[in-house]
């Protein structure tokens, strides 16, 4: 029964959204102080069709000098994955670990490129252990249910 074999295929990886703001330019560019950098990451998975899912990884990078924003970059990198005939208990780890690991390198490149094109030294996002991130989210969700 070949039609029951597990299927996991990448259909496409694409840049879904990208924005860059420099609200305090050009004055902030003359500052000599080193900016602080805040990086936030998120993962979301949504069904796109029967057996087809979109998994998106979002990065928000904000740099500030004192209370003024130097730049704010938001990038959402997504992938479309065909996932069929997998046990239900494997779907969470596939969409929370395997898919983001595939999409994330593209996100890292786009974030660094966008920041560099804006005239700043690139910000290279660190490698992410999506398994640890997923397990932490599952533990937090389980803790919320038991409270």
Rg from Cα positions in the chain: 19
**65 contact partners, CB below 8 Å, separation of at least 6:** 28, 31, 33, 34, 35, 36
Number of domains comprising the chain? 1
Q: Quick check: 84 pLDDT over 90?
A: yes
Pairing of strands 52-65, 36-49: antiparallel
CATH number at residue 44: 3.10.420.10
Q: Residues 109-138: pLDDT tens digits?
A: 999 999 999 999 888 999 999 999 999 888
Which residue range forms the structural domain that includes residue 31? 2-146
Residue 147 pLDDT level (bands cut at 50, 70, 90): low
Q: Quick check: 1 pLDDT over 50?
A: no
What per-residue confidence (pLDDT) applies to 38?
A: 95
Instruction: Summarize the confidence of residues 2-14 as an average pLDDT.
Output: 89
- Residue 128 CA to residue 58 CA, distance in Å, equals 13
């Amino acid at each position: 029964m070949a039609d029951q074999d597990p299927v996991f295929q990448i259909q496409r990886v694409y840049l879904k959204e990208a924005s860059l703001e420099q609200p305090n330019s050009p004055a902030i560019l003359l500052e000599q102080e080193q900016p602080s950098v805040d990086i936030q990451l998120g993962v979301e998975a949504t069904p796109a069709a029967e057996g087809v899912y979109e998994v998106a990884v979002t990065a928000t990078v904000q740099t500030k000098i004192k209370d003024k924003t130097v730049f704010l970059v938001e990038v959402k990198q997504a992938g479309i994955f065909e996932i069929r005939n997998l046990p239900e208990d494997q779907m969470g780890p596939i969409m929370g670990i395997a898919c983001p690991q595939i999409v994330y390198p593209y996100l890292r490149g786009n974030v660094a490129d966008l920041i560099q094109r804006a005239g700043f030294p690139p910000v290279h996002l660190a490698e992410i252990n999506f398994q640890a991130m997923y397990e932490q989210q599952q533990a937090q969700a389980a803790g919320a249910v038991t409270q």
